[in-house]
Amino acid sequence: MISVEEATHHIHAQLLAPRIEHIPLADCTGRFLGDDIAADRDLPPYPRVTMDGIALSVADFQAGQRTFVIQATQAAGMPPERLLPRQCVEVMTGAVLPHGATAVVRYEDIRINSDSHTATVVEDALVDGQNIHPQGTDAPRGALLIARGTRLSAIEVAVLASAGIASVPVFCSPRILIVGTGNEVVSVEATPEAWQVRQSNASALRAAIGAMGLAASQSHLPDDEAVMEDSLRAALATHDVLILSGGVSKGRFDFIPAVLKRLGVQEVFHQVAQKPGKPLWFGRSKTATVFGLPGNPVSTLVCFYRYIQPWLLAHMGASKHERFVTLAAEVLFKPALTYFLPVTISAVHTEWHATPSAGGGSGDFVNLLGKTGFIELPPTKTVFRKGEAYPFYAF
């Protein structure tokens, strides 16, 4: 049995070879960016007017001039006017600053005389640069805009569009198959017998992967070694990642480790010093990475979020962001195991506080309703005091 840290190291030593595809900008939301994106021009690309009003030279104002002839009107999308001495240009938000102008005075601070076609400044003071967004101050040409591995939202799409990226490089989703196991498990649509349960684990795993912007297929296997061997042989040949739920413990019908061994999947580790999820199995064939998750639903989900989700994110080039929260109540846990404890997170002043809720054990997935995620408590102590900070993993 290995530690959580050792299990994490072994898993991340088996990253997949990344594959990149280019997809239309309109389809990239939720995908992971496959390459760095740099600015192809200054942003903003010109000194941009930020308020409707008049553009003028502050030097003329400081020389005592208050009334200016309006020489032209310039809207956004028009080429810039060249400011004449002691005159002004009426400008609209988003327009290029006229050549020679050094400030923009908003309509609220001027009086316009339509008859004389003049504007009088009623402000007492003006400064160079007011109401102007200087060229290149957001990002100069060549600057990194979005880093490889970023998950793309509407914000990134806006920036990609501004950089002219109509065809977006993104990481291809690995070919993932989720396999539920067990004779006691029936389909979601079925009416189960008193000794049966509906397939919740595979459904939850597929939803969790979908929430990452990835796709997964789903199947189910009975507790039959011959059927398992035939099905998993085909699955290993056609998928990059297999995520199995159940059949990996020490029971008489836990056939998964032996079947995988016969299929040439090399076991990297089996069993981790943790609760829940101790029977976790991990291995690698020539073509696929295999996770064997314990069948209890809380164990399945905790192992996914603690190990598989970070591994998939690393495959997509995403940066690791470790988050800590503080305990809102004391916790006692005596076994020398890493303890994954479901919690509800709430903000208290500038800190995130975690209220623990152990529930009824690794089979009590109903207890996870309303929980934000889980904290990781180390095996080196038995008393975890209120106010202490520990790593947090969000559901």
Paired residues of 111 in beta bridges: 120
pLDDT of 254: 87
**Distance between CA atoms of residues 273 and 98, nearest Å:** 69
pLDDT tens digits, one per residue of 358-368: 888 887 888 88
Pairing relation of β-strands 338-348 and 274-275? parallel
Pairing relation of β-strands 241-245 and 176-181? parallel
Here the tokens at position 236 are 């290993």
In terms of CATH, what superfamily is 4-18+172-315? MoaB/Mog-like domain (3.40.980.10)
Evaluate if residue 55 carries a pLDDT over 90. Answer: yes
Sign of CA dihedral 332, 338, 342, 346: positive
pLDDT tens digits, one per residue of 369-386: 989 999 999 999 999 999
**Distance between CA atoms of residues 175 and 331, nearest Å:** 40
Secondary-structure breakdown of the chain: helix, strand, coil percentages, each rounded to the nearest 5: 20, 35, 45
Kindly state the average pLDDT of the residues 108-135. 96
- The alpha carbon of residue 51 and the mean position of all alpha carbons in its chain are separated, in whole angstroms, by 35
Alpha carbon distances (Å) from 233 to 82, 228, 260: 74, 8, 9
Here the tokens at position 264 are 């040439």
| Cis status, amide bond into 279, omega within 30 of 0 | no
Kindly state the average pLDDT of the residues 26-52. 97
Share of the chain above pLDDT 90, in %: 85
Domain 4-18+172-315 shares a fold with domain 48-133? no
Evaluate if residue 349 carries a pLDDT over 80. Answer: no
How many CA atoms does the CB half-sphere of 102 hold within 13 Å?
Answer: 11
pLDDT tens digits, one per residue of 196-255: 888 889 999 999 999 999 999 999 999 999 999 999 999 999 999 999 999 898 888 789
pLDDT category at 188 given cuts 50, 70, 90 is confident
pLDDT of 363: 79
Q: Which fold has domain 48-133?
A: Molybdopterin biosynthesis moeA protein; domain 3 (2.170.190)
**Distance between CA atoms of residues 48 and 93, nearest Å:** 8
pLDDT of 100: 98
**Distance between CA atoms of residues 246 and 249, nearest Å:** 8
Nearest CA to 59 out of 8, 102, 108 is that of: 102
**Distance between CA atoms of residues 292 and 255, nearest Å:** 11
pLDDT tens digits, one per residue of 270-301: 999 999 999 999 999 999 999 999 989 999 99
Kindly state the average pLDDT of the residues 45-66. 97
Here the tokens at position 102 are 């050094």
- The alpha carbon of residue 217 and the mean position of all alpha carbons in its chain are separated, in whole angstroms, by 22
User: Architecture of 323-394 per CATH?
Assistant: Beta Barrel (2.40)
pLDDT of 302: 96
Here the tokens at position 296 are 């209890």
Nearest CA to 276 out of 358, 207, 217, 347 is that of: 358
Q: Which helix (H) or strand (E) element contains residue 299?
A: helix 297-303
What DSSP letter does each residue of 79-99 carry, written as one string? PPPBPPTTEEEEE-TTPBPPB
**Distance between CA atoms of residues 300 and 194, nearest Å:** 23
pLDDT of 111: 97
Kindly state the average pLDDT of the residues 319-333. 91
Q: Are 179 and 160 in contact (CB under 8 A)?
A: no
Nearest CA to 285 out of 19, 17, 5, 14 is that of: 14
pLDDT of 347: 85
0.75 surpassed by pTM: yes
Residue 170 φ/ψ, nearest 5 degrees: -135, 155
Evaluate if residue 185 carries a pLDDT over 90. Answer: no
What DSSP letter does each residue of 10-72 carry, written as one string? HHHTTPPPP-EEEEEGGG-TTSBB-S-EE-SS-BSSS-EE-SSEEEE-HHHHHTT--EEEEEE
The listed CATH number (3.90.105.10, 2.120.10.90, 3.30.300.90, 3.40.50.11780) that belongs to domain 21-38+146-171: 3.90.105.10
Rg, C-alpha atoms of the chain:
31
Average pLDDT, the chain: 94
Kindly state the average pLDDT of the residues 83-109. 98
Kindly state the average pLDDT of the residues 33-44. 97
- How far apart, in Å, do the first and last CA atoms of the chain sit? 26
Domain chopping of the chain, boundaries? 4-18+172-315, 21-38+146-171, 48-133, 323-394
Q: Are 91 and 131 in contact (CB under 8 A)?
A: no
Kindly state the average pLDDT of the residues 86-112. 98
Residue 152 gets which letter from DSSP? P
Evaluate if residue 101 carries a pLDDT over 80. Answer: yes
In this predicted model, which residue has the larger pLDDT, 363 or 103?
103
